[in-house]
A = this chain, B = another copy of it.
Amino acid sequence: MTSPVSHNGIITVPATTDHLHEIREFLRARIRAAGFSEFEENGIVLAVDEACSNLIRHAYHNDPTQSVEVALVIDPDVVTVSISDTATPFDPNSAQVPDMPTYLQERRNGGLGILIMRRVMDAIDYVPCGPTTNRNMLVLTKRRTA
């Protein structure tokens, strides 16, 4: 009924890029302790880093008075990371992602974060703020593979 050892947790950081490192370390320790593979751990950490980088850079413009909240819930076979913010809503599912062969051929730059999130995670769900809350929530889900 109760989980004997919990790897769940929340981290709240100011919306500046120098805190991305803390978010990653927070996730890493917990995902590893929950027995996920290093490969899964690296993928989840990368996807969340991309999502938080986007929030911080594109939504909050590195504003230290704002904050980003990352909540981690680890079930036996699925890791769910919910990232919430109070910025202008932006649904990464609605974004166009580049076609990589063309991208590489044309030596483009940037615009890869959302593609990484999609390649790495099993599901990306975005819930904008609305009548029930002023917070947007991005839910990234990854199932255990082994």
> Interface on A for B, CB 8 Å cutoff?
1-3, 6, 8-12, 22, 26, 69, 71, 73, 75, 78, 80, 82, 84, 93, 118, 121-127, 130, 132-135, 137, 139, 141
- From DSSP, what is the main secondary structure of chain A's interface residues? strand
Pairs across A and B, CB under 8 Å, 12 listed: A1-B118, A1-B123, A2-B93, A8-B137, A9-B130, A10-B135, A10-B137, A12-B135, A73-B80, A73-B82, A73-B139, A75-B78
- Measured between beta carbons, the chain B residues less than 8 angstroms from A75 are 75, 78, 80, 141
- CB contacts (< 8 Å) of A82 on chain B: these are 71, 73, 82
Question: Closest CB of chain B to A28's CB: distance in Å?
Answer: 13
The listed residue (B26, B123, B126, B133) touching A12 by CB distance below 8 A is B133
C-alpha spacing A146/B137, complex, angstroms: 28
| A81 CB, min distance to chain B CBs, angstroms | 10
Nearest-Cβ distance from residue A90 to partner chain B, whole angstroms = 15
